[in-house]
Amino acid sequence: MSEPLRLMAVHAHPDDESSKGAATMARYVAEGVEVLVVTCTGGERGSILNPKMDHPDVLANLPEIRRQEMEKARQILGVQQRFLGFVDSGLPESEDEPLPEGCFAVQPLEVAARPLVAAVREFRPHVILTYDDDGGYPHPDHIMTNRISVEAFEAAGDPERYPGTGDPWQPLKLYYHMSFTKERFEALHAAMAARGLGSPYADWIARWEDRPRKWEVTTRVHCADYFEIRDQALLAHATQIDPDGYWFACPLEIQKEAWPTEDYHLARSLVDTILPEDDLFAGIRAEVSPACP
């Protein structure tokens, strides 16, 4: 007997799912994998980052508009999606600035993780995607997203933990997104320069801090054929994504040639796999769904 492969991607805010791992998800959906995006907050304290959408009426209705944007992106990607219901913590201007009372990032770990454990036990993912322990960048909601994802991975299979949240289910692999590496931007920059195009990445690369990378890329998923879908999902988040901004500065044909993958770090695995990988379900397919390619 075989069953569908299932992938869960845990994100902090609406739009994060489209800027990190979107082409990967679109590829797996096309291959018949069931994909669920879990969005921890509603993005209520986000700014309007697209100047074309920066109007008082949009700002006044931002929470509802961001939900509508999330629904559009969900449809484009072909995934399922649910909100955990926590409130966006915002991005403090300094380390000394207190976080808002009751926001996602100040919740006790077991309170914040409980609805995610319930979602894991209901959806029963074989693989979970999340951010690294620095959040990918140090937004308090991204860091909390990592914490609850690790907690859910480790707790969801234990019948003694989080009683009342469904039957136990143990995911088999946990990955961290490695979306914004220096190597990727150097490759895109070099490819644009070779074609005589101005690159938006030169200053960024020059300012990059040369320090040992904490997490190595272990897994590169080829998904260039789905970059257009990724970009459509990004544009669905119209308050957050400027269509004339840096997300689209590098032509798609160059991206597909210079860096055709989305990249990950395998943080936990309960199955045998050989690194490096090119498939999030390496070591799982034969056990769960032998008919899958």
Task: List the chain residues with pLDDT less than 70.
Answer: 1, 211-212, 289-293
Tokens 């508009």 sit on residue = 65
Structural domain boundaries enclosing 127: 6-180+216-251+261-288
Q: Residues 150, 155, 161, 162: is their CA dihedral positive or negative? A: positive
Annotated binding-site residue? 142: yes
* Helix pair 109-123, 140-155: axis angle to 10 deg: 60
Q: What is the pLDDT of residue 218?
A: 98
- Per the structure, the count of domains in the chain is 1
- Assigned domain for 11 exists: yes
Asked if the structure places residue 200 within a domain, the reply is no
Report whether 133 belongs to an annotated binding site.
Answer: no
Q: What is the pLDDT of residue 65?
A: 96
Determine, yes or no, domain membership for 185.
no
141 within domain boundaries? yes
Could you identify the residue written with the tokens 């808002």?
A: 100
Confidence (pLDDT) at 209: 73
Within a domain: 205: no
| Opening angle at CA 234, ends 231 and 236, nearest 5 | 115
Q: Is 16 annotated as a binding residue?
A: yes
Asked whether the beta carbons of 128 and 156 are under 8 A apart, the reply is no
Q: Name, in order, each residue with C-beta under 8 angstroms of 97's C-beta and a sequence gap of 6 or more.
A: none
Q: Is the peptide bond before 100 cis (omega within 30 degrees of 0)?
A: no
Domain membership flag for residue 293: no
pLDDT of residue 16: 97
Q: Residue 59 belongs to a domain with what CATH number?
A: 3.40.50.10320
CA distance 156 to 169: 6
Region of residue 124 (left: phi > 0; alpha: psi -120 to 50; beta: else): left
> With contact defined as beta carbons under 8 Å apart, do 144 and 112 qualify?
yes
Please name the amino acid found at residue 4: P
Going from the C-alpha of 174 to that of each of 12, 192, 211, 268, the distances in angstroms are: 16, 34, 25, 5
Q: What is the pLDDT of residues 241-265, one digit of tens each?
A: 999 988 899 999 999 999 999 999 9
Q: What angle do CA 58, 59, 60 make, to 5 degrees?
A: 90
Considering the domain boundaries, does residue 242 fall inside one? yes
Task: Evaluate whether residue 209 is within a structural domain.
Answer: no
